[in-house]
Copies of this chain bind each other. A is one copy, B any other.
Amino acid sequence: MTRKILVLPGDGIGPEITAQASRVLAACQARGLDIEVEEALVGGAAYDAFGEPLPAATLDKARGADAILLGAVGGPQWDTIEDLAKRPEKGLLGLRKNLGLFANLRPAILYPQLAEASSLKPEIVSGLDIMIVRELTGGIYFGQPRGIEEREGERVGFNTYVYSESEIERIGRVAFEMAQKRGKKLCSVDKANVLEVTILWREVMERLAPEYPDVELSHMYVDNAAMQLVRAPKQFDVVVTGNMFGDILSDAAAMLTGSIGMLPSASLNESGQGMYEPCHGSAPDIAGQNLANPLATILSVAMMLRYSLGEAALAGRIEAAVGKVLDDGLRTADIASAGKKMVSTSEMGDAVLTAF
């Protein structure tokens, strides 16, 4: 059965990096992977073309796809759009919400070849391998009521941080299962000393724990988690948290490795359908210059093969090809270092295809 892949290049460096990833998809096809690849617009690009960051046609194609590959969305030219609902980010948030992509998996792995790129001391980060499981369709990102309104003679802005037991349980199970497959340690991050919504979060995590007796569950306040990531990140195996805290902590964790340009992510729904994207953003400052690192997007293809298409062997081959080009000393600007060969976005793509 032919599987459908939707590629959404998005904005900024998105088109350049997804172009390289699409070449890798084509190479998989050439090796017998039965897929059909389509493209569509999302984010600022879709706003410019259709006045909407998530046009109905794009959403329809996304619904019909087995997996989605997204570049990145956003850029300064759209930051001034008055109507928040029209901003590029809403394209991304709309995809997540409409497809029910509640489970965001964000690995923070230090590539041994890039150990020097980290701003942390080598002994603190060598061998780092954390998986952050972030709830992606709830919490303060989507809570109602929200808005800006006049109250007692001045304007007031408000958002609602809300989780139901079933939402917490659902993401909790993903995290416990992930921990079972990894180092069997799960740290749930909350602010249960201040926020009621996270008291419920902690309670539900505790209730699930006996069903996963092989996993050691711990809890940490979010402020302490931010500190511990800086102080001793290797203490973590799997981390589970809500949408907002996950946004902050997963970016901090990714940056610990010094190679956020290397890190893919997956966003999955209950039926295993997934959207795959690099952890980094749209980097408007270097867009269109053939400078961006395409490896996170290429590794997102590997994650897609593994999690949504059941093609672990092919995924492994892509990962091995990426390892090879790093071993060969090829580096894009973001991970450049003395004595290594600096290459462009497309040259990096060439090299991965050659090694594949």
Contact = CB atoms under 8 A, between A and B. Distances in A.
Interface of A: 74, 79, 84, 87, 89, 93, 119-121, 124, 140-141, 143, 146-148, 151, 154-166, 191, 193-201, 222-224, 226-227, 229-232, 244-245, 247-252, 254-256, 258, 260, 281
Contacts of A147: 196
Q: Which of A121, A124, A224, A281 has the most CB of B within 10 A?
A: A121
B244 A191 contact: yes
A165 B155 CA distance: 6
B155 A162 contact: no
B160 A158 contact: yes
Contacts of A245: 248
Given A119-B232, A163-B157, A194-B93, A226 B199 contact: no
A319 to B, nearest CB: 24
A231 B260 CA distance: 11
Given A148-B200, A199-B157, A252 B232 contact: no
Given A140-B161, A156-B163, A232-B119, A227 B199 contact: no
Contact of A160 (B151, B161, B247): B161
Contacts of A146: 195-196
A226 B200 contact: no
15 contacts: A119-B120, A119-B121, A140-B140, A141-B194, A148-B199, A155-B200, A156-B164, A157-B196, A157-B197, A223-B247, A226-B251, A226-B252, A230-B255, A245-B248, A248-B248
Which of A89, A147, A155, A245 has the most CB atoms of chain B within a 10 A radius of its CB?
Answer: A155
A247 B248 CA distance: 12
Which of A226, A229, A250, A258 is most buried by chain B, counting CB atoms within 10 A of its CB? A226
A244 B248 CA distance: 12
A128 to B, nearest CB: 12
